[in-house]
Chain A
Amino acid sequence: MADYDEDANRLTIKLVYYGPAMSGKTTNLMQLHEQLRPDMKGELMTLETQGDRTLFFDLLPLGFRAPSGLLVKFKLFTVPGQVAHDGTRKAVLSRADGVVFVADSQRNQVLNNAESFENLAENAARVGLDFDAMPLVVQFNKRDLPDILSEEEIAERWQGAEWPLVFASALSGEGVSETFSQLLEPVYRHMDETYLLNIDHGLDAASFIKGMGV
């Protein structure tokens, strides 16, 4: 449910990084801030943290102009992972156009991942998102740590799920922009269907992704 403002000639697309506490959602955004080279890049806005933990959300604004002059503006959010902040999580997830689920690859985090994923599905339903149709990429982060689930184990467990799986080490930046571009593909398809990006604005999928400077 992107926000298209005809007067301002602006399409605002909201993407949300979801996942259990301490799985590396904020680190993903920090890396994107470093790695992406879009036309327009705002500052990473971090709202109130407690130690390493996000209490409200992080926001990274990015954007570029389509050939038609349309400003395509992205707002990348993270949610607070801790269970207690469910109300905030719900509000941040509201009207999202795509979600990256950042899972923790460590063996002892299997249960937290599952609970958080279930919470994502629940909250999506509560804020009126069609969970099955919504663009979603699952990122298994922290591949650099010892005692993690192997790629085969994860692939086996997620067999049958239709979402793309990406392995990442957000701290070193590995897999972060890959995750993002994997998400941009279905997001473009959805946007193009609704706002005729290609026909009305001369923006095809390749330039959409390129516009973000991936």
Chain B
Amino acid sequence: MDALHFGDAFDRELSLRELLGAFASERLGRHLAALLGDFRLYDEKKQTVLESGSVAADAPTIDVMLDIEPVGCLQASANIEMLKAAADLVAILLQSQMRYHMASRLHEEQVSHDYQRLQQEHAALLKSELKYRTLAAELEARVQEQVEALKTAERQLYQAEKLASVGQLAAGVAHEINNPIGFIRSNLTSASAYVKDISGLRAAIASGDAKKIVAAWNKADMEFLLEDFQSLLQESIVGADRVARIVSDLKGFSSIDQGKEERIDLNESIRTVCNVAGNRIQQKAQLVLDLGELPALQCQPGHINDVLLAMLFNATQAVGEQGEIRISTAVENGDICVRISDNGCGIAQENLSRIFDPFFTTREVGAGTGLGLTVCRDIVRAHGGRIDVESRVGAGTTFTIHLPLKGR
């Protein structure tokens, strides 16, 4: 509450002395004395405010009015008309003083009101300044926090994409392994029957009769059996080798040694990837390798294999019946360049600038995460390289992976 104290209020009742203020001086006294001779001006409480000489106690007295009531009296042994006129002059002076007093107090009031408002605004500004300072300080921490959150999310997405490609890989690998396992098992069944046939000769051999032995030998068709047995085992060894090779190739994709950097022959990686994905590709397209001689590359082989596999799968999806996928390698301007070309559907011009954007996909919902190329680009960038793309709709697409031999 900011109610005025009554003592301060602009409209409080003022005493004669207060009203006269500076005028209650010799000067006014001189003028009144000139008009009235000896006089006395006193307030409601009979206290003299201004006087000149001494006034007889029975001299005429007249009220000095302010508003509607007297604030004091003027007494002098003068003509009553003169006394009235003098009292009126003093009243006019008082009225004017009262106006001045009220206006100036009110003006003060307005100024202090404005000042208080400015103070409040100032305080509000200080508060908001402090708020923004605090915010600015917090901002850095928040940015760090966000960056951390984004990094975590990115890692999670990368894992998701990896799981998706592992799934694709697993399907291909299952088929690859199933085939040799199938004929190995069939061979082993035949071998088991052959062993039984061979056991059948035991009685004839035990008799020591050469004729009987020859007859049993011929009956069992041992010449063919031994020859076939040999080729069964040979074929099974080849099959087992194939399984062993697939498993060995798969190690390139296992996460165990993914963080490690190694010097590798990139051509070897490409061959491995083609072996792993070969079955899946050859159902649709002809795979042509045109691998030039390459120096060893310092890289993270697991990641590079991921890139090659993803791009190979992309190319496979792009080509139609009797498509062709060509992978060539060469050294150009200190970079190893891997070109993966297909003669498939191509990429529309308006999509070309967006294919590396996260979650951009033209495939049906569920068929692609939209992260494959994003992850590829990030991996290649981490190796200091880049991926270029050229494409014409209907004619095919060429992706070129540049990997610098020196420095990242």
- Give the B-binding residues of A (Cβ under 8 A): 3, 5, 7-8, 10, 12, 14, 40-42, 45, 47-48, 56-57, 59, 61-63, 71, 73, 75, 77, 85-88, 90-92, 94-95, 126-128
Contacts and interface: CB of A to CB of B under 8 A. Distances in A.
A42 B44 contact: no
B67, B109, B111 — which one has the most chain A CB atoms within 10 A of its CB? B67
Interface stretch (B1-9, B185-193, B365-373): B1-9
A3 B105 CA distance: 19
Contacts of A86: 113
A14 B113 CA distance: 22
Contacts of A10: 13, 69
B215 interface: no
Contacts of A40: 68-69
Given A12-B13, A47-B99, A42 B67 contact: yes
B44 A8 contact: yes
B221 interface: no
21 contacts: A3-B12, A3-B13, A10-B69, A14-B11, A40-B68, A42-B68, A47-B103, A56-B102, A57-B106, A59-B11, A73-B68, A75-B11, A87-B109, A87-B112, A88-B110, A91-B9, A95-B3, A95-B6, A126-B2, A127-B1, A128-B3
B42 interface: no
Contacts, number: 82
Nearest to B10: A91
B114 interface: yes
Given A61-B67, A73-B69, A126-B1, A85 B110 contact: yes
Given A14-B11, A126-B1, A61 B68 contact: yes
A12 B3 CA distance: 18
Contact of B4 (A73, A85, A91): A91
Interface in B50-76: 67-69
Contacts of A45: 95, 99
Contact of A94 (B9, B69, B107, B114): B9
The size bracket of the interface on B is: 20 to 34
B9 A95 contact: yes
Q: Which 4 residue pairs across A and B have the least CB separation, nearest first?
A: A87-B113, A40-B68, A87-B110, A61-B67
Contacts of A3: 6, 12-13
A62 to B, nearest CB: 7
Nearest to A126: B2
A58 B369 CA distance: 81
Contacts of B110: 85, 87-88, 91
A71, A90, A91 — which one has the most chain B CB atoms within 10 A of its CB? A91
B99 A77 contact: no
B1 A128 contact: yes
A10 B44 CA distance: 13
A75 B69 CA distance: 13
Interface string B245-257: 0000000000000
Given A61-B67, A87-B109, A94-B4, A47 B102 contact: yes
Contacts of B2: 90, 126-127
Nearest to A127: B3
B4, B11, B44, B107 — which one has the most chain A CB atoms within 10 A of its CB? B11
B6 to A, nearest CB: 7
Interface string B80-101: 0000000000000001000100
Contacts of A95: 3-4, 6, 9
Contact of A88 (B6, B69, B106): B106
Nearest to A63: B68
Contacts of B105: 91
Given A5-B13, A47-B99, A61-B67, A91 B109 contact: yes
Interface in B1-41: 1-4, 6, 9-13
B67 A91 contact: no
B73 to A, nearest CB: 14
A87 B10 CA distance: 12
Nearest to B111: A87
A7 B15 CA distance: 13
A66 to B, nearest CB: 14
Contacts of A128: 1, 3
Contacts of B10: 91-92
A86 B113 CA distance: 8
A181 to B, nearest CB: 20
Nearest to B1: A128
A56 B103 contact: yes
Contacts of B69: 10, 40, 63, 71, 73
Contacts of B114: 87
